[in-house]
Amino acid sequence: MTLPQLSESPLVRHAGLSYFPLAFIARLPFAMMTVGVLTLVVAERGSLTLGGLNSAAAGLGTALAGPLLGAAADRFGQRRTLVPIGLLNAALLGAFPFVVASTVRDLVVLALSVLIGASAPQVAPMSRTRLVAIIRRAVRADRRERVVNGTMAYESAADETVFIVGPFLVGLLATAIAPWLAIAGASVLTLVFVTWFALHPTGRLAPVGQTSKAQAPVRELARFPLLTVVAGALGIGFFFGATLTSLTGFLADDGSGDRAGLLYGVMGIGSAALALASAAFPARFSLRARWLAFGSLLLAAAVTYALARSVPALVVALAMLGCGIGPTLVTQYSLAAKLSPAGRSATTMTMLGSAVVVGQAVASAVTGLVVDRLGADAALALPAVTAAFVVAAGIAHAASAHSAERQPVPA
Q: What percent of the chain has pLDDT over 70?
A: 90
Could you give the CA distance from residue 310 to residue 20 in angstroms, rounded to a whole number?
38
pLDDT tens digits, one per residue of 115-169: 998 998 888 888 888 888 888 777 777 777 777 777 877 887 787 778 767 777 7
pLDDT of residue 82 exceeding 80, the answer is yes
* Total domains, the chain: 1
* Enclosing domain of residue 88: 11-405
Return the higher-pLDDT residue of 133 and 289: 289
Q: What percent of the chain has pLDDT over 90?
A: 23
Could you give the CA distance from residue 357 to residue 163 in angstroms, rounded to a whole number?
10
Q: Is position 240 within any domain?
A: yes
Q: Is position 195 within any domain?
A: yes
Q: Which of 16-30, 263-277, 307-321 has the lowest mean pLDDT?
A: 263-277
Q: Is position 3 within any domain?
A: no
pLDDT tens digits, one per residue of 4-18: 344 457 777 777 788
Return the higher-pLDDT residue of 30 and 409: 30
> Three-state SS for 266?
helix
Q: Is position 1 within any domain?
A: no
Closest-CA residue to 124 (of 187, 60, 197): 197
Q: Is position 140 within any domain?
A: yes
For 109, what's the count of Cα atoms within 13 Å in the CB-facing half-sphere? 25
Q: Is position 2 within any domain?
A: no
The residues, any chain, with a CB within 8 Å of residue 334's CB and separated by 6 or more, are 148, 149, 152, 287
Closest-CA residue to 264 (of 354, 160, 357): 160
Question: pLDDT band at residue 406, thresholds of 50, 70 and 90?
Answer: low
Question: pLDDT band at residue 211, thresholds of 50, 70 and 90?
Answer: very low
* Number of other residues whose CB lies within 10 A of the CB of residue 204: 11
Closest-CA residue to 366 (of 21, 14, 59, 20): 59
Cα–Cα distances in angstroms (integers) from residue 11 to residues 14, 53, 203, in the given order: 5, 42, 15
The secondary structure of 169-180 as a DSSP string is: HHHHHHHHT-TH
Are 150 and 27 within 8 A, CB to CB? no
Q: Is position 4 within any domain?
A: no
The Cα angle at residue 385 between residues 380 and 391, in degrees rounded to 5: 135
- What does the pLDDT average to over 21-49? 83
Q: Is position 342 within any domain?
A: yes
Could you give the CA distance from residue 157 to residue 153 in angstroms, rounded to a whole number?
6
Name, of 52-66, 262-276, 373-387, the range with top average pLDDT. 373-387
Return the higher-pLDDT residue of 47 and 332: 332
- What's the chain's average pLDDT? 82
The residues, any chain, with a CB within 8 Å of residue 411's CB and separated by 6 or more, are none
pLDDT at 250: 84
CATH number at residue 309: 1.20.1250.20
pLDDT tens digits, one per residue of 188-209: 999 999 999 989 888 776 544 4
* Number of other residues whose CB lies within 10 A of the CB of residue 44: 18
Containing 205, the helix (H) or strand (E) segment is: none
Closest-CA residue to 52 (of 377, 411, 305, 363): 363
Own/partner contacts of 282-285, CB < 8 Å, gap of 24 or more, are 283/145, 283/146
Are 122 and 70 within 8 A, CB to CB? yes
Return the higher-pLDDT residue of 222 and 318: 318
Q: What is the pTM of this model?
A: 0.74
Could you give the CA distance from residue 326 to residue 35 in angstroms, rounded to a whole number?
21
Containing 349, the helix (H) or strand (E) segment is: helix 345-374
Cα–Cα distances in angstroms (integers) from residue 365 to residues 238, 251, 303, 368, in the given order: 10, 17, 21, 5
Q: Which of 139-153, 168-182, 326-340 has the lowest mean pLDDT?
A: 139-153
pLDDT at 305: 94
400 burial level (CB within 10 Å; 0-12, 13-18, 19+): middle
The Cα angle at residue 383 between residues 382 and 384, in degrees rounded to 5: 90
pLDDT tens digits, one per residue of 117-129: 899 888 888 888 8
Identity (one letter) of the amino acid at 61?
G
Question: pLDDT band at residue 259, thresholds of 50, 70 and 90?
Answer: low
